Structure 1
Amino acid sequence: MNKKFIYTSLALALSFGAMAQQDKNAMKFSAPVNKDRAYSHLSILASDEYEGRETGKKGAWMAAEYIKKQFQSFGLVGPVKNSKDPYFQKVGLVSYDLTSSGFSINGKALQAYKDFNVPNGTVPVSGLNISANEVVFAGYGISKEGFDELNGLNLEDKVVMIFSAGDPTNPQAATAQSNDRAAMRAAMMARQKALGEIAKRKPKALLIIDLNFDKTPLWMKEAGANGRLMLKNEATAAAIQKSPAYASVTISKSTADEILKSSGTNIDALVKKITETVKPASQVVKANITIKAEKKENEVRAENVLGFLEGSDPKLKNEVLVVTGHYDHIGLVKDPNAKDKVNNGADDDGSGTTGVLLLAEAFSKAKKAGNGPKRSILFMTVCGEEKGLLGSEWYSENPVFAVENTIANLNTDMIGRIGEEYLGKPDSANYVYSIGSYKLSTDLGKLSEKVNDTYTKLKLDYKFDDPKDPQQIYYRSDHYNFAKLGIPVIFYYDGMLEQDYHQPGDEVSKINFSLLAKRAQLIYYTAWELANMPNRPVVDKKDETPPRGRN
């Protein structure tokens, strides 16, 4: 056995033993971690004025300024070098947005959003310029035993036209209610399978007939022109050079009828024929088609906000504990007719951002009183979590403090409400989901439990540590970008995934501030121990669970 490991574990054990008696200094300086201070921060961050804090938009910039000013008022230092503002780490974000799109049939130009829509994701950065003199109609695109609409068709380098949904061999699938999740999931999987079979045949474009196209609000169609936010790094540069398997254009029923004119039929007749006979009606239709689209790269302003507290011990201050929470949310409701237009994100993740501010103030006061932590602490609120953990990924690729000196990450993402599993239970207001504490470090997991037993006595629920967790929560917040680097992590979470999740109803009025403060106290005391204990937590595990997807 490794001697270093024995000595380190012994030191940690002694530290745990000392912790059985509460640290008076830790308790004394925990005062700012309270429900009133939490309310003062969250009522601002999650107000309508901040417009839902969407990354790259005004509300997020306002939130970043607010957080920076709080860090400054506490006396934290901005640690970002070679920056106009040392509290801001500029995150290199770009989007590739459509600037124009065109579609014509037999020389007749159609109107974007009225007759057709070109989704951003199927347009390469170089743009589209497709011409064809025929279209292959393949019904619903289904290829299975007893009903093969692709049988005998040559789709390679062709323009193919199919319906957006439905299965004549299974009428119930077509009438599945939107609130029947199992049915909707099955229909989605069937559709993906059909598209996969078509992709194998290498078409150059897919025309998707949406029978409800005329009923789809304009704002929903226009939203598809904007590209998703991406980090401007080597991975993105390589990804955007890869063209999609095929171009895709959503078209209306009238546009499809225009294409079908030369064949002497129309959509209504084809739907009736296929439905009544339950036989394919695939055919090649003569029509001159042109599809064009252009894209442009747009830089997007976004910042991680960093406040640094230097440690007091000359031997330990080069080691850094990172405390994180994402300050972004999903912004304004796109529907112009919505009564409540702001997704306030009070719990997600105004509550976690508030937790970071509470800890930052508490530790700053301890330092001013001469009881600062031995190790350094980086308090960081990140952007772009809702866009794919982008802010924390950027930090992981461009760390301000060396990865090897980062001892742990404590991440707060939604700590202000009572999740579905605990509603109405006797212990409903005395729990938190603790995620990842044992994934990489036995020491960190044990430390977390000892701190909780000593100070807060919350129920630590490890449900989401299960590798078989269908929601894959472990991979869905910013701690994961630290865990990927082999840094021990704890992710604190309330489990609120149904009530108001990503909805305008996630408002300050629904936050349980006493519970938020108690959870934040657990994080504070855990941070206190990590920042002051003799040795950092040992990484003695490797998480072998592959991520199956994130939000």
Structure 2
Amino acid sequence: MKKIFLFTGFAVALSLSAVAQKNADAVKFSESINKKRGYDHLSILASDEYEGRETGKKGAWMAAEYIKKQFQSFGLKGPVKDSADPYFQKLGYASLSLSKSVFSVNGQAKESLKDYYITPASVSSTGYDVKASSILFAGYGLNKEGFNEYEGQDVAGKVVMIFATGDPTATAPAPQTGGRRAMSSVGSQQAKIKYLLDNKAAGVLVINANVDNMDPRLKNALQNGNPYLKTADRIKNMSSAQGLPVVVIGTAVANQLLATVNTNLDDIKKKITDSKKPATVVINVPVAFSAKSVETDVRAENVLGFLEGSDPKLKNEILVLTSHYDHIGLVADPNAKDKVNNGADDDGSGTTGVLLMAEAFAKAKKAGKGPKRSILFMTVVGEEKGLLGSEWYSEHPVFPVENTIADLNTDMIGRIGEEYLGKPDSANYVYSVGSFKLSTELGKLSEQMNDTYTKMKLDYKYDDPKDTQQIYYRSDHYNFAKLGIPVIFFYDGMLEQDYHRPGDEVNKINFDLLAKRAHLTFYTAWELANRANRPVVDKNADGTPKTK
């Protein structure tokens, strides 16, 4: 066992020593990766005309068409079979919206998105129609040992009202988890609703103060439908969420109901907290709510450009270069002066990097110096919605997963992050995320390319398992890593200044730095596409060494 690992390490050292000298061809064809060409692309992709490139909207469709035309102009092929357009991998993406939403208290109709809201994903196309002569108020909806707010109660066939969050018996706040998807988790609320579903409640009113002053982004999302990816798991989860009618109500409606039993939200919370005892009570006020949803397919596509390798023995192996071309669209606030979230850095910069590299590799092939392995240049959509485009590709790969040797992902490579502002090396660094997670060899190769060509500081901060931002899980490379494919995510670390705001504009991009980071990605890709062997995967998904 030790001899095997020693030999592998020696082989890696030999292969890396062979690339210590600059490759003249790589240097020559990298010249088109420059700040002028970068500006040419990004000034279009991040313009106001593209309206923030939100998935499923006009701006994203415009960006997809632009990227496709660039791939065509370079001479890349569209590799998607059985598609109306071989450059587009159409996602199974749809939007759910409410075709009906009614809620009344004691015969008085309430206003949607002001007094209450119903999430489209919680309603099936057949809908529901709930009527009850009374409500069971069960506080926080807890049913644990020593504090059971349903003790002595049969919730079957009843409408139950509970607080959205909180546990007056908790000794410490629940730990926070990172990652894009974890951020949207309903946590304990999901368990509370599941209890009511399992016990055949008729419906639930969830008290949430956020309804009172609704975030414009939430309001916009509820008005314009709830988009989702039609994977088997998501459809299954959605079906299970549609099992119990849920109405989210504001404090005004809740207090109206509680007033009939001579209390209010503040008093009832204080009473429960002080006594550490449930305050479950029946409210004899009739309520009625009904809803139906309708599903509409939404256009969304990954854009793929393919460069076939020159070596008959290696061209079936695929290197993937990714970025996401979508952003978050227009500002929801109608009073905003700047209404476009341009997404110049996030991730117009990474998409620009992919276009620059695609052009450079295509020029190399035309000159008879093309890569031995094939390269798939893929700009994905739906990253801002939860890594949807890369998830779809991971479940519907155009090329076999076992033939995919690595993914190099550029997501935000055009600016200087907060930690480097004002520092001497502020314009000469990049965060390298995940490069050693699955393959020691890939990480060392990237370091060798940097030492040979670009000489930037490679910052591995976000590889720390204790990273509170959980950056490793928050871009499209992760959907390749989940499949055991080695990855590197190049990133500038901008998390505060203009992040997901209209201020993320082209005039704030450092194009010299964008080009330099794209150069590092290009040289790493050049070596991966031309070396004798693909990078060895010597680690498990959790970073522990593989054993033979």
TM range (shorter): 0.7 to 0.9
* Distance in 1 separating the partners of 2:372 and 2:268: 77
Task: Output the aligned Cα RMSD.
Answer: 3.3
Query: C-alpha separation between the residues in 2 aligned to 1:395 and 1:192?
Result: 28
| TM-score normalised by structure 2 residue count | 0.87
The 2-side partners of 1:114 and 1:492 are apart by: 43
Q: Corresponding residue for 1:55?
A: 55
Whether contact under 8 Å (2:320, 2:377) holds in the other structure is yes
Shift of 1:299: 0.7
Structure 2 residue aligned with 1:362: 360
Helix, strand or coil at the partner of 2:240: coil
Using the TM superposition, give the Cα deviation of residue 328 of structure 1 relative to its aligned residue in structure 2, in angstroms: 0.5
Please, which of 354, 379, 382 is the counterpart of residue 381 of structure 1?
Answer: 379
1:233 positional shift: 2.9
Larger mean CA deviation between 156-165 and 445-454 belongs to: 156-165
* Map of 1:478 onto structure 2: 476
Determine the C-alpha separation between the residues in 2 that align with 1:85 and 1:194: 43
Retained in 1: the 8 A contact 2:438–2:543?
no
| 2:74 match | 74
Classify 1:128/1:16 alpha carbon distance in 2 versus 1 (closer, same or farther; 3 Å).
same
Residue in structure 1 matched with residue 317 of structure 2 by the alignment: 319
Counterpart Cα distance in 2 of 1:246 and 1:323: 43
Secondary structure of 1:415's partner? coil
Question: How has the CA–CA distance of structure 1 residues 59 and 18 changed in structure 2, closer, same or farther, with 3 Å as cutoff?
Answer: same
Contact 1:113/1:218 (<8 A) preserved: no
- 1:446 matched to which residue of 2? 444
Q: Give the equivalent residue in structure 2 for 1:466.
A: 464
Listed as ranges, the matches of 1:103-502 within 5 Å are 103-124=103-124, 126-139=126-139, 153-163=153-163, 193=188, 196=191, 200=195, 202=199, 203-210=201-208, 213=211, 215-216=213-214, 220-221=218-219, 223-244=221-242, 246-256=244-254, 259=257, 263=260, 265=262, 267=264, 271-272=266-267, 275=270, 278=274, 282-502=280-500
What is the DSSP-based 3-state SS (H/G/I as helix, E as strand, rest coil) of the residue aligned with 2:522?
A: helix
Q: Distance between the aligned counterparts of 2:211 and 2:478, measured in 1?
A: 39
- Please list the CA deviations of residues 361-401 of structure 1 after superposition, one character each: whole Å capped at 9, or x if unmatched: 11111111111111111111011111111111111122222
- Tell me the equivalent position of 1:176: none
Residues in 2 aligned to 1:528 and 1:314: alpha-carbon distance in whole angstroms: 17
User: Aligned-pair distance for 1:120?
Assistant: 2.7
**What is the deviation of 1:12?**
4.9
Q: Say whether the 8 Å CA contact 2:261–2:283 is kept in structure 1.
A: no
Using the alignment, how far apart are the partners of 1:468 and 1:252 within structure 2?
Answer: 37
Map Cα deviations across residues 204-234 of structure 1 (whole Å, 9 max, x no partner). Answer: 4332345675554788546325554322232
Matched letter for residue 287 of structure 1: V
In the superposition, relative to structure 1, how do residues 460 and 218 fare at CA in structure 2: closer, same or farther (>3 Å)?
closer
Q: Distance in 2 between matches of 1:65 and 1:309?
A: 19
Could you say if the C-alpha distance between residues 104 and 319 of structure 1 is closer, same or farther in structure 2, counting changes exceeding 3 Å?
Answer: same
**C-alpha distance in structure 2 between counterparts of 1:198 and 1:540, whole Å:** 43
Partners in 2 of 1:36 and 1:302 — Cα distance?
Answer: 30
**Residue deviations 1:317-376 (CA, integer Å, cap 9, x gap):** 221111110000111111111121111111111110000001011111111111111111
Maintained 8 Å contact 2:121/2:241: no
Distance 2:136 2:433 in 1: 51
Quote the Cα distance in structure 2 between the aligned partners of 1:194 and 1:311.
51
Residue 80 (structure 2) pairs with residue 85 (structure 1):
no
Indicate if the aligned counterparts of 2:50 and 2:59 stay in contact, CA closer than 8 A: yes
Structure 1 spans left out of the alignment, 5+ residues: 174-180, 183-187, 547-551
- DSSP-derived class of the 1:321 partner: strand
Query: Which one of the candidate residues 509, 512, 533 is aligned to 1:511?
Result: 509
For the residue of structure 1 that corresponds to 2:43, the secondary structure is helix
Number of residues paired by the alignment? 528
State the distance in 2 between where 1:218 and 1:11 align.
57
- Cα deviation, 1:157-198, whole Å, max 9, x if unaligned, reads 43223455789999xx9xxxxxxx99xxxxx99x96577457
Report the secondary structure of 2:134's partner residue.
Answer: strand
Q: CA deviation at 1:69?
A: 0.9
Paired residues of 2:96 and 2:121 also in contact (CA < 8 A) = no
**Aligned residue identity for 2:113:** Y
Question: Do the aligned residues in 2 keep the contact of 1:125 with 1:241 (CA within 8 Å)?
Answer: no
Q: Quote the Cα distance in structure 2 between the aligned partners of 1:283 and 1:138.
A: 7
Q: Give the CA deviation at 1:470.
A: 2.2
Query: Are 2:17 and 1:22 aligned?
Result: no
Shift in Å at residue 444 of structure 1?
0.8
How much does 1:136 deviate? 1.7
CA deviations on 1:5-26 (whole Å, 9 max, x unpaired) are: 9988766544422211111111
1:200 partner amino acid: Y
Residue identity opposite 2:326 in structure 1:
D
Query: Any gaps of 5 or more consecutive residues in structure 2?
Result: 178-182
Deviates more, 1:101-110 or 1:21-30: 101-110
**1:45 equivalent in structure 2:** 45
Report the more deviating stretch, 450-459 or 288-297.
288-297
Q: Could you say which residue in structure 1 is the equivalent of 2:180?
A: none
Report the more deviating stretch, 343-352 or 227-236: 227-236
- Corresponding residue for residue 35 of structure 1: 35
The answer to whether the 8 Å contact 2:136/2:161 transfers is: yes
Structure 2 vs 1, CA of residues 335 and 545 (structure 1 numbering), >3 Å: closer, same or farther?
A: farther
Is the contact between residue 163 and residue 210 of structure 1 (CA under 8 Å) also seen in structure 2? yes
- The question of 1:539 aligning with 2:545 is answered no
Q: Secondary structure at the match of 2:422?
A: coil
TM-score, with length taken from structure 1 = 0.86
